[in-house]
Each structure stands twice: as structure tokens, then as C-alpha cells.
Amino acid sequence: MNRSEAWALSKLSYAELVYRPLLSTGLPIKYAGTKKSVHQALTGATLNKVIFAMFTMGGAVFPFLIYKLAIEAISLSVTTALSIILGFGYLVLYSVQVLPTFVTSGSFGPLAALPLEPRERSLVALMTLWRTLDYILVLSLATEFATVAYFTGSLAAASLVFVVSLSSSVLAVALAIRLIALFQNRLENTSTRGGKGLASIRGYFRPLLFVLWGLGVMSAVFLFSVISALAPPLNLVLTHPDTPLGVAASLIFPFSAGLLVSNFLGFGIGDLSLVLAGGGVCLVIFGAAAVSWGVPRVLDRIVVEPARRSQTGWARGADQYFFRVRGRLSAYVRKDLRVASRNPATGFLFALPLFEILAVVIPVTATSVVRVSALIVGSQVGGSFALFTAFLLVTVEDLGVERRTALPIAASVRTLSKVLVSTLTYLPVPIALSAILLFIKPPTFGGGIFIPVAAVATVFAACVIEVTVLNTLADWGRGTAVRFIAGVGSGELIMVIPSFAFTVEYVATHDRTGALLVLLGVSAVECLFSTLVLRTLRARGSNPRGEGLA
């Protein structure tokens, strides 16, 4: 088989990869039952890739904008490093979301049955992988190159960043595949050993995944806050290569790349840093090359060896078949938590409270006094985390089983379950902010303590609206990107309204207490409205017109 034949075969595998999950989610597509449906699915996948590529492009450019506009005191080394690491984070984030279908959807089943050499299968799988990530890789690497060339005027620096970003991208994809494989291996090992299931995922793995996702989410939502908080200490570390921390930072990727770029542009970084940074960059490039060499083998294993299936029976004594019956909502919440914790794409949800606290507390405590505006922004930030949680819970819920099952579950229960889980992830924010205001740094306005607390009602309402919009759009067969923009967007709108009302009232009257009362009133109205939405869903029952055609 030559490369063009492999390329043609990879087109089929890629189409399977895109189409199969769509079928299994039961989401209707406009031209279901016709060849156009495959075309539509592929167009939707391309749209998703382009939208996500825009995120990665933004991540590449944003640190340089801050650097150029001098919004924050940030060095070129740190700017370059942040730009690269954001691209890395986004790519891992996307790959962990998308690549599990490589393993689980059986897209390579037909390929595995063909009489192909392992090398040929690997080639097809590699090309399929490329088709899955093409827009994101090309656009992010081109943006990285163009950004560095534009902002530094150095072609050498841009070329260096391009090579380093390319290596970083390879490592990101490899890391994602590794993470997915860990989940998958755990599943297989558990089945063959008869263990306790994925609930007992090894302790070392879960924190890693959490950190990874947390970084991704933080960078996506709170780029500015994070950069403003991280830039000063990073600058300090990188400008002191004589300290142990400085030595380590110089060697560590992507700071090593950042230091080399600085050196290209004539910012003296010292001989020691130069050697360490050069070593660090070489290490990454060699590492990426080594990983590239190994990826085809991993892909071939995925293609050839479908998941091992347990052939064993169930249990021994009759009493071992016992299970508990809980309340409907309680059972649904437990199910949502279990499913989310065992999916590589949502496992990080359980670390969100930690990252929320960091993302909210760092900016709030960075100022000398806690202003009302900081509390409003902090609440918005925490609320955005909750909205993201709701989106993930709805989107990756075991390929949409709840939309295809014949269980008597009202749409209101399904919605409320996800809203409760999402709202729970917000609760650490008011707790952390209240603790800061009560014990560490009093606010400039005493009533400000009610702002993050009132936001609980707003977050609840925003999640109800978001989940309802997401479900409705799924009924209409809209793609993930459209659902994300409309669902999270509508939630964000609900989140913003009370703050907007507060601002308008304050600008008009300069009365903080009055503005706070308006904020509380608007939050209460939103909460009431969301309750009415839930009641409507309850009245609608599980009418398939409302549940989505499967």
C-alpha cells in the first residue's frame, strides 16, 4: 500500500470516527438515513475543529498582546512560554475529548479485518489521527509562528518557536493518548481481575488529569487573571538563573524556549541559562521525535486489539446481587457523578472547586482592598466554571444514553440533576470569598459579602437555562460547537444580568445598598424563573418531542 492509498483509506476511517459517535448518541441529523448525513457529520466535525482552533490561536496571541501593550509586567521569556503552554493545554484538552472514539467507537473495526501489514495499518491510523487534528495543528502552529515573527521581528525566533510548538504538539497528542489509554487499560484490567470497577482509579492518575484539565479550563476562562497573577513571580524566577529555582526553570520546557527567544532578541540571559535552556529545548525536540516513533505502534495496537471483553460471570452468593433503591433524583445525581468521574473527558470536574478557589482568590487577594467589582468578577468567574461543568455533564454523558433509554425519567429530573451537580461545584467560591472577607480582608462595602452568596441563586438559574438550551439544541440536531456557544452563552447571559443591574443602579444613584438590593432582587427573580422552567419540563414529562429523537 502506498501513501495515497493509505490517505484514501484514512478518509474512510475518519468518517467512521466522526459518524459512529453521532449515531450512538442518538442525536438526529438532518439527513438521517441518507448519504448526506455523513457529509453533514463531517462538516460539523470540521466546524468544531475550526472553532477550537480559534481558541488555540487566541491562546497563542493573547500573552504577546499583553506583552506588547504592557498591560502586565511580563518578560518576553514568560510571554513565549505562556503562549506555548496554552497551545499545549488546549491541544491536550481537545484530544482527550475527541480521541477516546479512537479506542471505543469501533471505527477501526473494518480496517482491522483487512489483510494489511502492521506498518500499513499504523500509517492509516496515523493519517486518521492527522485528519482528526489537522485544522487545529496547522492553524495553531501557523499562528504561533506568525505571532512571534510579528511581535519580535525575528525570523529565527519565530522558527525556533515553530519547531518547539510542533514538538510540544506531538507531546500533547501523545499525552492525551496515554491518558485515554490509562482509562481504557484500567477498564480492561478491572474486567480481567474482577476488581471494584473504575471507582477505584489509581490515586496517581486522577490528580494528574485534574491538573491538566484545570490548567486548560483556567487558561480558557481566566487567561488574564492567571497571567496577571503568575507573570511577576515567573519573571523573578527566570531572571535569577543563579538560584536553584532559576536553574530548574531555565531547563524546564517551555520556559527554556522562552529564554532562548529572549536570547535571540538580544536580552542577555547569561551563559548558564543559555546552556540549560538549550538543553531543555533539545530535550523536548528529542522527546517529541521519540514519541513520534512510538505513536504508530500505539495506534496499531488500538486498531488491531479491540478492548478485551470479560467472559466471566457475575457473583457467587444470592446476597451478592443485592442493591439499594434510592430516591429518583438522588439516584440520578449519583449516576451523573459516577459517569462523569469515569470518563476521561469529565474526570476533572471533581477538581473544579480547587481551581475555582485559586482562580477567584488569587485575583481578589492580589489587590490591597477588596472592592465590590472584585467580588462581582470573582462570582462571575466561579459561575463560569459551573456553566462549563453543566455543559460537560450534558455533552459527554456516556454518548447520550439518557436520551435513548426507555426509563420513566422526566426531563426535569435529568435537568435538575445536572444543575445540582454544577451548582455544587460553585459553592466553594462563596465559602472562600466569605472567609476572606470575614477573616482576612474586609470589603470596601460591608454588604459586598452578600454578592457571592446571592450568586448561588444566579448560578442555579443560569445552569437551568443552559441545560435546557443544550437539550433543546440537541433535539434539533445542532452540533457540539453550536450547543456550546448557545448553551454556555445563554448561561453567561443569566449570570451577567444581576451584575449589570447592580452597575446600572449604582451609576444612576451612587447608592451601594440600593444597588445591592437590586442585585439580590434580580437574582431572586432569575431563580424563580428557572424554577418555572423546571416545572414546565416536569409537566412535559418525557415526551420524545422534548427529549430528542433517538
Partner 1 sequence: MTPSPLVEARDLVKEYGQVRALDGLNLRVNPGDVYGLLGPNGAGKTTTLRILSGLEVPTSGSARVAGFDPATQGVEVKRRIGYVAESAILYESLTPREYFEFVASTRQLNHDAVAYASSLAQAFDAEGASYDVPIGALSLGTKQKVAVIAALMHRPPLLLLDEPLNGLDAKSSKILKELMLIHVERKGAVIFSTHIMEVAESVCTRIGIINDGRLFAEGTMGELRSLSGTSGGSSLEDVFLKLTNEERFVEETLERLRSEGT
> Which residues of the chain form contacts with partner 1 (CB under 8 A)?
30-34, 36-37, 104, 187-188, 190-191, 194-198, 307-316, 318, 320-328, 330-332, 334-335, 338-339, 342-343, 398, 401, 404-410, 541-545, 547, 549-550
Question: Nearest approach, Cβ of 41 to partner 1 (angstroms)?
Answer: 14
Residue 32 CA neighbour count, 13 Å, CB half: 13
Question: Nearest approach, Cβ of 182 to partner 1 (angstroms)?
Answer: 14
Nearer to partner 1, 179 or 449 (CB): 179
What is the identity of the amino acid at 141?
A: L
Nearer to partner 1, 6 or 392 (CB): 392
C-alpha cell at 519: 442585585
The 3-state DSSP class for residue 154 equals: coil
Question: Nearest approach, Cβ of 15 to partner 1 (angstroms)?
Answer: 19
The string of DSSP letters for 278-296 reads HHHHHHHHHHHHHHHHHHH
Torsion of CA 488, 489, 490, 491, to 10 degrees: 50
Nearer to partner 1, 70 or 325 (CB): 325
Q: Of 404, 194, 171, 176, nearest to 290 (Cα)?
A: 171
Nearer to partner 1, 42 or 236 (CB): 42
What is the distance between the alpha carbons of residues 376 and 502, in angstroms, rounded to a whole number? 10
What is the distance between the alpha carbons of residues 311 and 305, in angstroms, rounded to a whole number? 16
Q: Of 386, 423, 409, nearest to 537 (Cα)?
A: 409
Nearer to partner 1, 293 or 322 (CB): 322
Question: Nearest approach, Cβ of 63 to partner 1 (angstroms)?
Answer: 37
Question: Nearest approach, Cβ of 335 to partner 1 (angstroms)?
Answer: 5
Question: Nearest approach, Cβ of 25 to partner 1 (angstroms)?
Answer: 11
CA-derived radius of gyration, the chain: 25
Residue with cell string 478485551: 308
What is the identity of the amino acid at 349?
A: L
Peptide bond into 254 cis (omega under 30): yes
Question: Nearest approach, Cβ of 309 to partner 1 (angstroms)?
Answer: 4
Nearer to partner 1, 47 or 198 (CB): 198
Nearer to partner 1, 106 or 270 (CB): 106
